[in-house]
Amino acid sequence: MDNPKIDIDLDHEELDVVCERPDTLKDARMHYCPGCGHGVAHRIIMEAVAELGIQDKTIGVAPVGCSVFAYHYMNIDMQEAAHGRATAVATGIKHILPDHYVFTYQGDGDLAAIGTAETIHTVNRGENLLIVFINNAIYGMTGGQMAPTTLFGQKTSTSPYGRQREFNGNPLKITELLAQLPGAFYVTRQAVNNPNAVRKAKKAIINGFKYQELKRGTSFVEIVSNCPTNWGLPPVKANEWLVENMLPYYPLGDIKVPSKEDLQP
Amino acid sequence: MGELRLMKGNEALAEAAIRAGMDAYFGYPITPQSEVLEYLTREAWLRTKASILQAESEVASINMLYGAGGAGGRVMTSSSSPGISLMQEGISYIAGAEIPCLIVNVNRGGPGLGTIQPSQGDYFQSVKGGGHGDYRLIVLAPATVQEMADFVLEGFELAEKYRNPVLILTDGALGQMMEKVELRDQVDRAARKIPGWATTGKTPDRAANVLTSLFIQPEEMEQVNLRLQEKYKVIEQNEIRYQTIQVEDADMVLVAYGLSARISRKAMEICRAHGMKVGVIRPISLWPYPSQVITDAAQHAKAFLAVELNAGQMVEDVRLAVNGRCPVEHYGRMGGIIPSPEEIVTVIEKLYSQVS
Ligand SMILES: Cc1ncc(C[n+]2csc(CCOP(=O)(O)OP(=O)(O)O)c2C)c(N)n1
Ligand code: SF4
């Protein structure tokens, strides 16, 4: 069947603009697979930067992983880090620019495997950074290998019979672990699988940026995301799988929030 | 004249870094260079508000350096051999992203955990790579405590001029020995111009600055490499540093850097007193390497002897420069043993009798 002809004049003057690309996002087509959460996560971070009016004072650090090209989309100054080292790079930036807003954007392989030491020590020192952690329970970029966050029974290219404790150890709840550290100021787990979740995740990211002004420690925002391609599921099914399988193990919500006194300037 | 002090090499280096207007230092303790971190944590914040951070590892230190250098800071780290090995990943990224910074290796004996005594076993690692990919570090080799201090500001300036990491390759003996040192005046941190490429926050008047070593398209990656190689050629044309001592009439030329150059010079003096025409070429920049001065000396010299605290590493560069014009021998001690001048004189005498 032919596609129905849609006759909309997009340049029509009388159309109201409901939602625009903020200036903090470059006018570039993203390379992410259809339905992937990375694109949404990028957008809400950049919307947060635009709404806070801090584009000229924000430095981002891109990881190694599918979002390695984050700087192709985010219209802010950025540095690309080696696999796992993003929080060390961000620490360096913050020590030169203590009044700027610095964030890292990292996948689970990057942050919770190769970069575990850097992550723990950065948070434990209480560096005034925002760490955005995209947990899709798999290594996306290298083609779907097991991540520390891969769930029991989850099939990946390196856990072909499903992750088993005796061979592969346990899925790592790095976020809960980090929340134990005194340097962690704000720790929360959010998702981007539906509009309501996206709104909450964006609020968390805005908090993470604003808390840097207090210089009281690290903000850590986990975003439970998906990888339709390597999960071998179409986008809608992937989000269903996320709700059924990931959220029971990685429940959404705040894990550590600043007290009223913590928030006094 | 600057302020005169009696200082340890490591402390002179740290003091020079403060005076050079260093903005940040990131490091992790390892003998024989821990005094650098200790001195800086004691002095730097109080005097210039420079940020000094003891990292959790050398891997973290070098990546902090990457971030801080990328944000426009004048930044330094120091370590010793096993720590420098851990930094190689970051050094490759820093070279690839062209971020200026100063790295100091107070070389100790290896391989592995080795010994804490001085060595020159990291020559290959310093000048031939160490990390992955085609890149070069500018490598400076001090031979005195004075040079430990002097090469800091020089290193920062070279790094910033070429947007390239600079390595000071020294050793445990120079780090630990005390000598008189003349210190420069304090550079004002605030007066330094922050480069336009640094990630300091995108303002409306410019495009976003991106620092990366990732160029996934092969054509683009090749262009980046070609551009880097062009930069390295310019450095080779402009930044070769060396010292020659009585090379003009020498029948035999010793080639040595750093600590072994000091010993070689003494050996040369003993030989001269015995009527042997011996000279010394001391490469100061180990990369770019002073090949031409060796090639020139090979027009009249009858033999070369590379004296190193290793199994024979720099001797390969001497051989390349001499290019078969006359014999090139190597003498080295390892494991942290420092040869005496007399020991080297014995080697010279043997070689000298064969060629003259
Ligand atoms: C030192 C090093 N080891 C391994 C790799 C290969 N590598 C690239 S991306 C990646 C995994 C990334 O997974 P994750 O952080 O979960 O991000 P995702 O791709 O899922 O978004 C690996 C192992 C690398 N680039 N560098
Ligand atoms: S491989 Fe997975 S994580 Fe990577 S872009 Fe595709 S869907 Fe997203």
Burial class (CB in 10 A: 0-12, 13-18, 19+), A134: buried
Would you state the torsion angle of the CA atoms of residues A55, A61, A66, A68, taken in this order, to the nearest 10 degrees? 100
Residue B147 phi, psi (nearest 5): -70, -30
Q: Are B270 and B278 in contact (CB under 8 A)?
A: no
| 8 Å CB contact of A93 and B26 | no
B57 CB within 8 Å of a chain A CB: yes
The residue among A194, A176, A145, A182 whose CA lies nearest residue A253 is A176
Residue A4: its pLDDT value, please? 57
Torsion of CA B290, B291, B296, B301, to 10 degrees: 100
Nearest to A89 among B67, B204, B213 (CB): B67
Tens digit of each residue's pLDDT (9 = 90 or more) over B1-17: 699 999 999 999 999 99
Closest by CA to B341, choosing from B256, B229, B215, B228, is: B256
- Asked if B23 has any chain A CB less than 8 Å from its own CB, the reply is yes
* Number of Cβ pairs < 8 A linking chain A and chain B: 134
| CA A236–ligand 2 middle distance (angstroms) | 14
Which tens digit of pLDDT belongs to each residue from B309-330? 999 999 999 999 999 999 999 9
ipTM above 0.90, yes or no: yes
Contacts of B305 (CB under 8 A, 6+ apart): B252, B253, B254, B255, B328, B329, B330, B331, B347, B348, B351
Q: Are B333 and B118 in contact (CB under 8 A)?
A: no
Question: Can you give the pLDDT at residue A16?
Answer: 84
Peptide bond into B327 cis (omega under 30): no
* Residues A193, A195, A196, A198, Cα dihedral to 10°: 70
Is the separation of the CB atoms in A241 and A223 below 8 Å?
no
The whole-angstrom separation of Cα B259 and Cα B307 is 10
**Separation in Å, CA of B56 to nearest CA in chain A:** 7
pLDDT digits (tens, 9 = 90+) for A204-261: 999 999 999 999 999 999 999 999 999 999 999 999 999 999 999 999 999 999 999 9
pLDDT-derived band at A18, boundaries 50, 70, 90: confident
Q: From start to end of chain A, where are the E strands? A: 58-62, 77-80, 101-107, 130-135, 184-191, 218-224, 253-256
In a mutational test of the A interface, the residue from B66, B88, B206 whose CB has the highest number of chain A CBs within 10 Å is B66
Q: How is residue A23 written in tokens? A: 């200036």
Is A148 touching ligand 1 by the criterion CB < 6 Å? no
Write the pLDDT tens digit of every residue in B86-129.
999 999 999 999 999 999 999 999 999 999 999 999 999 999 98
Q: Which of A17, A238, A14 is nearest to A136 (CA)?
A: A238
β-partners of residue A79 are A61, B211
Give bridge partners of residue B210 from the DSSP assignment. A78
**Residue B355: CB atoms within 10 Å:** 12
Report how far apart, in Å, the C-alpha atoms of A34 and of each of A38, A40, A227 are. Answer: 10, 11, 9
Q: Shortest CB distance from A95 goes to which of B24, B59, B66?
A: B24
pLDDT of A14 > 80? The answer is: no
d(CA B261, CA B243): 10
Residue B45, C-beta contacts closer than 8 angstroms, at least 6 positions apart: B51, B52
Q: Taking chain B, what is the end-to-end CA distance rounded to the nearest angstrom?
A: 46
Strand A77-80 versus strand B210-211 pairing type = parallel
Helix, strand and coil in chain A, % to nearest 5:
40, 20, 40
pLDDT at B188: 96
pLDDT in tens, B194-235: 999 999 999 999 999 999 999 999 999 999 999 999 999 999
A149 CA: nearest ligand 1 atom: 16
Ligand nearest to the CA of A235: 2
Chain B 151-210, CB below 8 Å of chain A: which residues?
Answer: 199-204, 208-210
List the alpha helices (DSSP H) in B137-257: 145-162, 172-176, 218-238
Average pLDDT of the residues of chain A:
95
Interchain pair B202, A56: CB under 8 A:
yes
pLDDT tens per residue, range B66-89:
999 999 999 999 999 999 999 999
Q: Which token pair is B204? A: 């409306």
Strands A253-256 and A184-191: what pairing?
A: antiparallel
Residues composing chain B:
356
CA distance B158 to B140: 11
User: Per the CB < 8 Å rule, is A79 touching B60?
Assistant: no
Mean pLDDT for B335-340 is 96
